Structure 1
Amino acid sequence: MNRVSTNPVLVGEGHRPLRDVVAAELRRLILDGSLPPGERLVEDRLAQQLGVSRNPIREAMRVLEAEGFLDVAARRGAFVAKLSAQQAEDLFQVRLALEPLGARLAASVGDPETDLIARAWAILDLVRESGPEQDLDVLSTLHTELHSLVFELTRNDYLIALAIPMVKRGQWLLRQSAPLQNPAAWDEHHGLIAAIAAGDPDLAEAAARHHVLSVRNALRPHLEPPEPLHDLS
């Protein structure tokens, strides 16, 4: 069964090339879990739901296949990709490079943007008050915003441009194993934000590195193993 958002965006009247608009909408549906890993995409159904013809759907699916969001197999169709253990490891290697750097730079800013820090604390307070029964979609959105705020605090436009897509891709990985409803998964963020607010680059960098390593170790047992190679001899 295709679980597309109950209120899909009608994109047929957009001003950008339809391929790009449709690709952006399908990417959003994948990232927010409306199209979960393993879901088969049916062109006719998507075209009807998004208010476009099949051609931009087909072109957008090629874009998402190139980005790694879709797996396309001859005679089977297109499916939302499942991240293998190796793909997740690749993502965590990038996170280990960028997130400690982002935390260090955020803590090094002489006059941190207090509204961004305040928003980070507000997110953590909201999660603590709501408890583990909070909706996964809400938690996912808040987690993405929290990690994005750290990079925005760096005021480094180049790093932000590199990091925000990584944060969103990482969020997709987290949704596949759903650790966000565990309160302990949020605890390490308190030390990270506190170190940034205190202007302690060394502590912030160490907190970010520890957090990424902790998440990686927790997720490894839940990841899809790589597809076995078939002997064609």
Structure 2
Amino acid sequence: MGISLVGNMDDLLPLRDVVFNTLRQAILTGELKPGERLMEIHLADKLGVSRTPVREAIRRLELEGLVTMIPRRGAEVARITEKSMNDVLEVRRAMDALCAELACDRITEEELGALSRACEHFEHCVRAGDAKKIAQADVGLHDIIVRATGNQRLIQLVNNLSEQMYRYRFEYIKDSSQHETLVKEHRIIYQSIACKDKETAAAAARTHIDNQKKAIIRQIRLERKQDSRD
């Protein structure tokens, strides 16, 4: 585990907030894995801080549902369950389809060019095989579509869900066998929006989420089997 405060330092934030943001990001990106124990002494040593801000951060993460307190074991990163995943993806599926439809009518030439470049960047990241960069490229690509809707309330709703979605995004990106499928799906979504084909764009957005859901379920069940053997 190589978590560090360096990338999260902000002179305007109290140390406890910097520690909280660092641990939160490590969980969302999968650097701290589901089920991994969070030992205050170990984390404080890694981050170069006292145990107090670490303890406060863990309590806040528990309130957000990212950390679970286990009797006689202590704090651990909350495991991803099929129920929690279904709840998030059910909402995201509907919103992504709506965003794709609206983008067909409202996307500008500049945004369309940015979307094309985002597809190319995603493909480059897939070829490089860097999971973190793949996830970031995926976020960037979908953000262009969301912004192209011009609907500020919808943009806000998607942003509110995006951090929860980020955690699941890492789960399906772990399955490298699905990377080429993701590339193809992005291209279909882009082409549909470019052609202003609302029906195909919305259907492609839904299929995109459906395939992610299948990949995440496989990953959850695989990790569950591995845990049962340990």
- What CA distance in whole angstroms lies between the structure 2 residues aligned with 1:152 and 1:184? 24
Which is further off, 115-124 or 55-64? Answer: 115-124
Aligned letter for 1:87?
S
Secondary structure of 1:71's counterpart equals strand
Q: Which residue of the partner structure matches residue 120 of structure 2? A: 125
- What CA distance in whole angstroms lies between the structure 1 residues aligned with 2:121 and 2:7? 32
Aligned residues: 221
Per-residue Cα deviation, 1:117-151 (whole angstroms, up to 9, x for no partner) = 32322232234356545211211111122122221
2:175 equivalent to 1:179: yes
Which is further off, 11-20 or 53-62? Answer: 11-20
2:98 equivalent to 1:101: yes
- What CA distance in whole angstroms lies between the structure 2 residues aligned with 1:174 and 1:188? 15
Unaligned runs of 5+ in 2: 225-230
1:82 pairs with 79, 86, 91, which one? 79
Q: Which residue of the partner structure matches residue 4 of structure 1? A: 2
Q: Which residue of the partner structure matches residue 204 of structure 1? A: 201
2:130 equivalent to 1:151: no
Per-residue Cα deviation, 1:148-178 (whole angstroms, up to 9, x for no partner) = 2221222222222221242332232232341
- What CA distance in whole angstroms lies between the structure 2 residues aligned with 1:49 and 1:10? 14
Instruction: Report the TM-score, using the length of structure 1 for normalisation.
Output: 0.81
Secondary structure of 2:68's counterpart equals strand
Aligned letter for 1:4?
G
Residues 19 and 104 of structure 1: CA distance in aligned 2, closer, same or farther (over 3 Å): farther
Per-residue Cα deviation, 1:7-42 (whole angstroms, up to 9, x for no partner) = 542767642344433222211111222212222122
Aligned letter for 2:71?
A
Shift of 1:190: 0.9
Shift of 1:72: 1.5
1:20 pairs with 11, 17, 23, which one? 17
- What CA distance in whole angstroms lies between the structure 1 residues aligned with 2:36 and 2:81? 16
Structure richer in helix, relative to its length = 2
| Percentage of pairs with the same residue | 31
RMSD of aligned residue pairs (Cα, Å): 2.7
- Return structure 1 stretches of 4+ with deviation > 6 angstroms: none
